[in-house]
A and B are shown apart, each in its own frame.
Chain A
Amino acid sequence: MWRFISLRLLQAVPVILAVITVTFFLVRVAPGGPFDSEKAVLPEVKAALEAQYRLDRPLFEQYFAYLGDLAQGDFGPSFKYPGRSVNELIAAGLPVTAELGLYSLLVAVIIGGIAGVFAAIKPNTAQDYIPMTAAMIGICMPSFLLGPLLVLVFGIYLDWLPVSGWGDIPGDKLLPSITLGSAYAAYIARLSRAGMLEVLSQDYIRTARAKGLPEWQVVVKHGLRGGMIPVVAYLGPAFAGLLAGSFVVETIFQIPGLGRFYVQAAFNRDYTMILGTTVFLSTLIVLFNLASDVLAAWMNPRLRAQFGGK
């Protein structure tokens, strides 16, 4: 198992290096620069600014200097926010995005899991069709539509919850988490329905029923454990997706997370910030994929044997 993990980690190094290289040169090819603004900038001022950021040096020299800094864990200074480092900006945004991701995942698992199990208990009845139709709508409904809809109902008409913010007013974390989590809830509903259907047709479930156990005990005690395996396998990639894909929700609810920094950086040609967030997120995604592979291997006895683990 350890060999498998270290091998995968080694494989990740060229992947991330390629990401850095491609991103570094791609952002430089994009027209416009960080110091272009609507009002013309004096050539002397622009030269002084470029010197401050090493942009006056040859591109390859900049590239290797960047790699050197990166090796020491330094993502460089931000262009858009003078006086702040990219490390600092990531450190400010990550906890918020991670918290949002975690809550959304919670929402997704609770709502999706319940809906899926419910549907699987009485397949091809209204109890199946209604949650599955809702799930289909959930998958199709983009967060830029769902978010404002929820705000309209719960924030404005009912006046129950704040319409935006993060940690400023009690309850302001609820709507964003539901908005971001709902699409994943829909996937999880379908996954858990399929998982449960398979499990509920197994012999040991019939045995449990024959013993005269109440139906809810059959489902919760015996069915859930097996039925949720596909959901568990999905959680790793889902969390990575939540982290990288929270931009829209962060914008709707004015949440100070990483996603907003990331997209703003691209619009501003904030070279170091684009690179920093890309490298950081791709590293995270590589790690999450690795983690979910390890988990899958550990859960599946046949794979476990293949790696010679216990």
Chain B
Amino acid sequence: MTLLPRLLLGALLLTLAACTGGESNVSKGNREGILHYGNGSEPQGLDPHVVTGVPEHHVIQALFEGLTAKDPATLEPIPGVASSWEISEDGKTYVFHLNPEARWSNGDQVTAGDFVFSWQRALHPKMGNQYAYMLFPVVNAEAYARGRLPDFADVGVKALDDVTLEVHLNAPTPYFLQLMDHYSTFPVHPPTIEKFGEISTRFTPWTRVENMVNNGPFDLKEWNLNRHIIVEKSDTYWDRDKVKLNGIIYYPTENIVSEERMFRVGQLHYTQTVPLDKIPVYEGIENSPHVQSPYLGTYYYLINTTMEPVNDVRVRKALSMAIDRVKLNNTVLQKSRFPAYTITPPGTLGYQPPKLFEFDAEKARQYLADAGYPGGDGFPQLELIYNTQEDHRKIAVAIQQMWKDVLNIDVAIANQEWKVYLDNVTEMHFQIARRGWIGDYVDPNNFLDLFITDGGNNNTGFSDPRYDDLILKLAPEAKTREERFSLFHEAETLLMEQMPIIPIYTYTSNHLKHASVKGMPSNLMDYINFRYVWLDPNETDAAPVED
């Protein structure tokens, strides 16, 4: 009678046994030069002028190349399609000399004309490119993108010949070369675009495996939706001799807990992130594969300065000073972040923001009393909203408790689904809202221009004419970096005196990286140049090695 179940059990055990002993992705990848890369989520697409996200960026970075690239260790611009460039005395004219060896994957030369075409596409008013503003430093680019200038010939980009591109800027833009390594300024192959539609057609199948023509170190081999994307080394890329990887397999690892497990059993070389509660576990082991480094982003609370009771700057200061950021970081955040007191991450391109306050319970209570709520008496209703996510909730709960302990006030916290939360923030239907900002390029301007009057990402009601002048008029015309940074310093001081935001922490990037992965140094942008990445098959344990 027990024959049938026995047989079945035996069959199951046989199946299981057959599955064991297989070679892991990592050791197979090390042998074959294939990087198994946890990429966060499934890319929405691979068209550089359509997509907006980080996972897209990681794939596009391998497939395409802009005028410049970045040195992964220093983030300084290095040659991409352009092998050299000159900047005029006044900083407003750039001449790029393109590498005559630069090739599209079909063998065509990458020309200056291709860039003119591509930038027209990136800026085309019908294209709906959300990152069009990356090219706005170029003369007339904004007018063209907003549909106020019909003729692209009036935009400040010209192909002088096949290998010379001249660009005119509105103002000296010290970070302009960095923008040339952002995918929204990358070239696309004009005949391929036109084969599948017009210059401004947003949805065409040109990015499919069988159609794509690209100019980066890798070519698209396979794109299996929600399963993996495979790229393999290009044999037309100008710097192909330096490319060491034979290919990369990108996995959509939306579930970060699963991603960590995949790493643990050798299915991945590299994870996009590490679950917070796993950080102490990995920190506790010797030669930990956990790599953490400062990241160009700030986590903060937005304050709607038009609403009671936070329209009073003293209340805002009381709330901000009552938060013990060091304690928050050491407990809830597992020491994985850096306490922040300003919007600009310290050390952004050498800029040191002012630190105007710190945790001070006495002073916080004094501010609250001055505002008319001594000991928290009569403090009106106040609500903090955040988008639904476990980490945001933990932080909000901790801060809610700090406000209760220090100021004796009860602040309600509420989570909202992502799109609902975005809608409420944009419409300013909130009193306090969680917010994060990740820099697109390494420059204080990228953080400080958030809070210009009526800026699209301001959302606080903060408005100061002097601040607007500093950011929009004076800083762009500054002659030296010191002068420019001192103007930023003044602006940030103005901002933090008014406190329309409560900075909480500076982001860090956290990854698990197998010891065999080389040429991938940590940096502020969490930037990887796949051209330089290689795998060392002799490294078998999961310990990271300094690059």
Are B8's CB and A45's CB within 8 A?
no
Which residues does chain B contribute within 8 Å of A252, judged by CB atoms?
Answer: 255, 258
User: Contacts A48-B128, A114-B8: A31 and B226 contacting too (C-beta < 8 A)?
Assistant: no
**Chain A: number of interface residues, binned into ranges:** 35 or more
**Chain A, Cβ-Cβ closest to B5:** A114
Contact B45 A170, beta carbon cutoff 8 Å: no
Contact B456 A41 (CB under 8 A): yes
Whether, in the assembled complex, B369 has its beta carbon less than 8 Å from a beta carbon of chain A, the answer is: no
Q: Are B15 and A174 in contact (CB under 8 A)?
A: yes
| CB under 8 Å from chain A, chain B span 236-261 | 251-255, 257-258, 261
Q: Let me know if B265 is at the binding interface, CB within 8 A.
A: yes
Q: Is the CB of B255 within 8 A of A80?
A: no
Q: Given A42-B456, A168-B228, does the pair A49, B128 have CB atoms closer than 8 Å?
A: yes
A257 neighbours in B (Cβ, 8 Å):
226
- The answer to whether B267 touches A216, judged by C-beta atoms less than 8 angstroms apart, is no
Please tell me if the beta carbons of B262 and A170 are within 8 angstroms of each other in the complex.
no
Nearest neighbor of B455 in chain A, beta-carbon distance: A40
Chain B residues contacting A256 (CB-CB under 8 Å) are 224-227, 252
B389 to chain A minimum Cβ distance, whole angstroms, is 12
A101 on interface, CB distance cutoff 8 Å: no
**Do B225 and A83 touch across chains, with their CB atoms under 8 A apart?**
no
Known: A83-B203, A171-B19. A215 touches B127 (CB 8 A): no
**Residue B129 lies at the interface, judged by CB distance under 8 Å to chain A:** yes
A47-61 vs B: 1/0 string, CB under 8 Å?
Answer: 011011000000000
Bound-state Cα–Cα, A118 to B47, Å = 58
Q: Does B145 contact A (CB under 8 A)?
A: yes
* B251–A254 touching, CB < 8 Å: yes
With a cutoff of 8 Å between Cβ atoms, the chain B residues found around residue A69 in the complex are none
A23-47 vs B, CB cutoff 8 Å, 1 = contact: the mask equals 0000000111101111111101110
A267 in contact with B254 given A42-B145, A44-B125 (CB within 8 Å): no
B255 partner residues in chain A, CB cutoff 8 A: 251-252, 254
Please give, as numbers and ranges, the residues of chain A lying within 8 Å of B356 by CB-CB distance. none
- Stretch of A153-161, A191-199, A200-208, A277-285 contacting B (4+ beta carbons < 8 Å): A153-161
Instruction: Report B220 CB to chain A, min CB distance, Å.
Output: 14
The answer on a CB contact under 8 Å between B202 and A169 is no
Q: Which residues of A contact B264 (CB under 8 A)?
A: 156, 163
Report how far A256 CA is from B16 CA in the complex, Å: 23
Given known A83-B207, A161-B19, contact A40–B457 (CB-CB < 8 A): yes
Size of the B side of the interface (Cβ < 8 Å), in residues, is 65
Contact partner, A44, options B145, B207, B251, B436, Cβ 8 Å? B145
Q: Are B257 and A148 in contact (CB under 8 A)?
A: yes
Determine the distance from Cα of A33 to Cα of B426 in the docked complex, in whole angstroms: 12
- At the interface, yes or no: B407 with Cβ under 8 Å from chain A? no
Binds A, one of B415-423, B523-531, B539-547: B415-423
Query: Using Cβ atoms and an 8 Å threshold, which residues of chain A touch B4?
Result: 114, 216, 220
Any chain B CB within 8 A of the CB of A181? Answer: no
Flag if A39 contacts B130 (CB, 8 Å). yes
Q: Hey, which chain A residues are within 8 Å of B132, CB to CB?
A: 42, 45
Pick the most buried of A31, A46, A77, A83: most chain B CB atoms within 10 A of its CB. Answer: A83
CB < 8 Å neighbour of A93 from B145, B205, B226: B226
A156 touches B261 (CB 8 A): yes
Q: Which residues of B contact A38 (CB under 8 A)?
A: 422, 436
CB atoms of A42 and B202 under 8 A apart:
no
| Complex CA–CA separation, A268 to B202 (angstroms) | 19
Q: Taking CB as reference atom, which chain B residue is nearest A41?
A: B130
A163 touches which one: B1, B205, B261, B420 (CB < 8 A)?
A: B261
Asked if A22 CB lies within 8 Å of chain B CBs, one says no
The contact of B226 among A114, A155, A261, A269, by CB within 8 Å, is A261
Whole-angstrom distance between the Cβ of B15 and the nearest chain A Cβ: 7
The CA of A10 and the CA of B3, in the complex, are separated in Å by: 49
Tell me the smallest distance from the CB of B442 to a CB of chain A, in Å: 17
* Chain B residues whose CB sits within 8 angstroms of the CB of A110 once the complex forms: 8
CA distance A42 to B134 in the complex (A): 12
The smallest C-beta distance from A297 to any residue of chain B, in angstroms, reads: 32
* With contact pairs A37-B130, A82-B202, A171-B15 given, residues A31 and B45 touching in the complex (Cβ less than 8 Å): no
Is B52 an interface residue, CB under 8 A from the partner? Answer: yes
CA distance A164 to B420 in the complex (A): 32
Known: A32-B423, A45-B128, A251-B254. A80 touches B44 (CB 8 A): yes
B463 within 8 A of A: no
Task: State A92–B436 Cα separation when bound (angstroms).
Answer: 34
- Which residues of A are found within 8 Å of B5, using beta-carbon distances? 114, 118
- What residues of chain B lie closer than 8 Å to A154, measured between beta carbons? 16
Q: Identify 26 residue pairs between A and B in the complex whose beta-carbon atoms are under 8 Å apart, listed by A's number.
A: A30-B420, A31-B420, A31-B423, A32-B422, A33-B423, A36-B419, A39-B456, A45-B145, A52-B203, A84-B45, A93-B225, A114-B4, A114-B8, A118-B5, A158-B20, A159-B265, A160-B16, A160-B20, A163-B264, A165-B227, A169-B25, A252-B258, A253-B258, A254-B255, A256-B224, A257-B226
